[in-house]
Structure 1
Amino acid sequence: MTNKQTILIAGATGNIGGGAAVALAKRGAKVVLLGRYHEKLKARVNLVRTALSEAQIDYQDTDIAMLVIDFSDMESVKHAAAEAMNRFPVINGLILSVGVIVQNGPKILPSGHEVMFATNVMGQFLFTNLLLKRMQQSDGLVLHVVNEDYKEIDWEDIESINNHKTRTAMVRTKTCNRVIAAELARRYAGTISSIAFSPPLIIDKSDPELAKRWPSGVLGFVWKILTALIANPPSVAGEPIADLMLSYQDRSAINGALFKLDKRVEKADKAMNDEVLGKRLWDELVLLTGLMTE
């Protein structure tokens, strides 16, 4: 693939999305940073520009764009997707690196949906589907940032509202991400490609707002210990993401695959290989997001 591609990065103000933005921009891609807050997006754009300047890489201001979107709000998702379709005539790739964890839940949005499920699953699913026609024109690649923990989906309580435990609800959303990554690959094979990407713990220790990001209580203490002992800088995820997005002439060769950084996982993944589960979750999300009315 040529380097001058347009890549949208959902969750660009986070550690993994931010690392991907820098790595892709350094390789000449046009990066579009997606996030909820305009000021945080502006700060991230400036960080990418600084990284390019320090590396003595020439760039155009138009090569680093931003798009405000709230993935927990389906109306915001629809608006942002329409704006993306209007602004970017070519979309070569989409990186889905959105992941929130909310303690002391369930936190129910005005829409009636649980915030983690809406943000981590519904919003990303809807946004991807609304961009599919544009991405099909360029053999697009969708990269889903996942982890490999597994939690059965409770079809009577898919959003973990009635029986809510923070970690269980979070892991269930990440299981859904893997399921959808594989189902997207099956449904659109030959027109776009879809892969799952599992990084280790990524934390930008230089982030001046890092202390504000910690969860409270025991969970926050655990995160602090993990950060000190095993956390990796954003580039550890950013570089292999850039490789996957830019290096494959034939993206269909990796369609449906799970990667741990730059290594393809050959062992069958329970969530990704279950076609019945994939179809059922897809159909549920079509209903929940209102996609069938679009």
Structure 2
Amino acid sequence: MDLDTVRTFVAAADTGQFQEAAAELAVTQQAVSKRIAALERTLGVRLFTRTARGAELTIDGQAFLPHARELLRVSERAVASVRPGRRPLRVDVIASRGAATGLMRAFHRANPEIDLDVVMLFDIETAVAAVRSGAIDASFRAVAAPGRPLPEDIESVRVLDEPLQLLTGPAHALAGARSVTMAQLAGHRIWMPGIVPGTEWAAYYDDLVAEFGLTIEATGPNFGSDALLDTVADTPALATFMGGRTRLVWPAGHGLRRIPVTDPTPVYPHSLLWHRDNPHPALATLRAHLAATAAGRDTAGTWTPGWVLPR
């Protein structure tokens, strides 16, 4: 059903004059008559009776009027739901316990009036495609992995360099250290079953291994962070890397240690991605918030792979 004809019908019903309806809609009286006639053909009934005073609703017109008003209200709500600034800002944070989630929680605390829709997409190709299609407004990623440049219509800005920490159980040889150097980690088994070939974090750790001669094992199924913590706590020979802003909770009996890594400190570079033509006003607010609160980028004594985009 053509909404213009429905809108014209409601205007004519409210004014009781085709001429006044035409003036209200900024069309000709002939256009009003044609629209009403088209709607009557669609519905198969007469909606108006012409009188000396103008146009009066028939019984069928009276029955249709409240439904016509509801059609117009639904149409207005549908348009408003996708109008920039009227729908929630949709952002991909990859995982619930990572640094990106912490950044978005801080943004929400600073801007509680902005509606948010937080999603978690696994790989960067899916995230970039969602940004380009408008399915999401932004994504936090480490960009750009070797040989995988971003499309020209995707913008990015580096917002956080997250230091890596060594996570060990209480019986690990390094458990008592206040900090460990990259050189001290050589020869120790670092277990990270969550590394998936082809992901941006796999590219990051491949370069870390090549640069510092580390031993990182990605063997075994990935049962999630709880199982990882259980295994590291019970296995003196294993340790793992953990982002300094990753939020984890473990039983007190695990006795796990989070140990800073130095000389240099490896940092994981988080960037925000968005489509250059995205008009959502809250996206600009998010970018301004991240720019104002960002810290620890390109500081002395840190390491990132050579392919990481500059700030």
Q: Say yes or no: TM over 0.5.
A: no
Question: 1 or 2, which has the higher helix percentage?
Answer: 1
Rg larger for: 2
Using structure 1 for the length normalisation, give the TM-score: 0.28
Question: 1 or 2, which has the higher strand percentage?
Answer: 2
Using structure 2 for the length normalisation, give the TM-score: 0.27
